[in-house]
Chains A and B, each alone.
Chain A
Amino acid sequence: MNERSGWTWEIWRWPVVLAVLTTVGLVAGLFSDGGFGDALAGLCLAIPTATALWFACLKR
């Protein structure tokens, strides 16, 4: 892993965090029917969605 190749923790930290959150959200929703599981799924998918909207539309 080096900076030139583009595979550094600095570059991939946030994409990896968001990908893990998305995975947790997708799986949590599969095993739940209301309650904590659905709330977790919603939160985990809301964070990447909000991140995209924040940087793309709101942040100047």
Chain B
Amino acid sequence: MNGTALKRWSWIHKWSSLVSTVFMLLLCLTGLPLIFHHEIGHLLGTEVEAPPMPAATPRVSLDHVLQVARAQHPDRVVQFASHSEDSEDLWFVTMTPTPAPTDDFRSVVVDARTGDVLAQPRFDEGFMWVMLKLHVDLFAGLPGKLFLGLMGLLLLVAIVSGVVLYGPFTRKLEFGTVRRARQPRLKWLDLHNLLGAVTLMWFFVVGATGMINTWADLLIKYWQHDQLSALMAPYKGQPIVQPAEYGSVQKSLEAASLQAPGMKLSFVAFTGTAFSSPHHNTFFLRGDEPFTSRLLQPVLVDARSGEVSHAPQLPWYLTALLVSQPLHFGDYGGMPMQILWALLDIISIAVLGSGLYLWLRKGQPAAATQSEAAILEEAEVQT
């Protein structure tokens, strides 16, 4: 690599890192507790568990569950209903003022066997909520998400440019060398290079999948336009179907399940919500294998008649979104994976922090230490 190219890559690495580092530090720090959100929920007592009952205990109908939830918040509509991740003995019903996306929601947890209200946990307050909002959208909704997505893109540029610079900056050092005895800046430069090289793939994957996740809202809107708009033709000019007009939701669920034998319900999106159409209740079914449980099969059921209208294959861009989620969250592989995810997150914080330190210490990170200057000069001679 000649001196001009090296300087150019140094410039790209410096500015892509500088612009994104503060936000990436925020994302790494807020992401740390989110890795353990289930465990923290248990500690704080906000996780709801179904009381033990024999496995064969019959279940109440989904219509009854919705009725119970509506009775708790008669001024709200049901947007979504889903089973708990761990158990089909619980229904989580999400209620909002209107079907439109909002942060103003209430959750009602209903026992699927008895129809009793078990809890109404507030997911929109407290420490974990603040962490989640800072991590997802900086409390700024879609613009906040897209902004963080842009910062994620800059992180990827910083990682790629860091890879290009790694060779020239470490070629005279054995892998893993940290020159601790000399000036502190040299030690931190070596640590930055070492930790960056070791976490390269993990940080790239988590950064890229995080960026893809920021596009989720847009991808779902595009899906509605792309695949659902043709289905809406027969309903043209009709208003959103109101809950009072629904046929049996339980029968709709059974009809949807017949479309995809062997699949389980992930969640139901009701009429007019972001994941459905104004005239359908959409049942998202998932597989029961480790990988297929991440993928969803939507089944649109006419809200009034309860008949299945369409069961479209999920398009590639939503499949990519769904596959990217576990790779970002690290929520597969149990506690050992969570601990490794947290350690890798902390190492990434060290990479970001050391990069920031290298810049703050001298102001000119690319050519500040003797070794860096020597590398640039040597490269210059070659040109």
Contacts and interface: CB of A to CB of B under 8 A. Distances in A.
Interface of A: 3-8, 11-15, 18-20, 22-23, 26, 29-34, 37-38, 41-42, 45-46, 48-49, 51-56, 59-60
Given A4-B168, A29-B333, A52-B194, 14 more contacts: A4-B378, A15-B200, A22-B202, A22-B205, A29-B332, A29-B337, A30-B326, A32-B290, A33-B290, A37-B290, A41-B333, A52-B199, A53-B343, A56-B350
A14 to B, nearest CB: 4
B175 A30 contact: no
> Which A-B residue pairs are the 10 nearest by beta carbons?
A6-B167, A22-B201, A19-B201, A33-B290, A55-B176, A6-B168, A15-B197, A29-B333, A52-B198, A14-B175
Contacts of B382: 4
A19 B203 CA distance: 10
Interface of B: 1, 164-171, 175-176, 178, 180, 191, 194-195, 197-202, 205, 289-291, 294, 323, 326-327, 332-334, 336-337, 340, 343-344, 347, 350, 378-379, 382
Main secondary structure of the interface of A (DSSP, over half): helix
B175 A4 contact: no
B333 A5 contact: no
Contact of B191 (A3, A26, A49, A56): A56
A17 B309 CA distance: 50
Contacts of A29: 326, 332-333, 337
Contacts of A49: 340, 343-344, 347
A32 B190 CA distance: 36
B191 A8 contact: no
Contacts of B343: 49, 53
Contacts of B378: 4
Nearest to B200: A19
Contacts of B337: 29, 38, 41-42, 45
B178 A56 contact: yes
Residue among A23, A26, A34, A51 facing the most chain B CB atoms (10 A cut-off): A26
Contacts of B178: 55-56, 59
A52 B350 CA distance: 11
B344 A7 contact: no
A45 B202 contact: yes
A33 B293 CA distance: 11
Contacts of B195: 52, 56
Contact of B340 (A31, A32, A42): A42
A12 B333 CA distance: 29
Contacts of B323: 30
Contact of A15 (B164, B166, B344): B166
Given A30-B326, A38-B334, A49-B340, A6 B1 contact: yes
B22 to A, nearest CB: 23
18 contacts: A4-B378, A5-B167, A6-B165, A12-B167, A13-B175, A15-B197, A22-B202, A29-B332, A32-B290, A32-B333, A38-B333, A48-B198, A49-B343, A51-B198, A54-B176, A55-B176, A55-B198, A56-B191
A30 B290 contact: yes
A11 B170 CA distance: 7
Contacts of B333: 29, 32, 38, 41-42
Contact of A6 (B166, B290, B340): B166
A55 B177 CA distance: 7
Contacts of B170: 6, 11
Contacts of B379: 4
Nearest to B327: A26
Nearest to A54: B176
B277 to A, nearest CB: 31
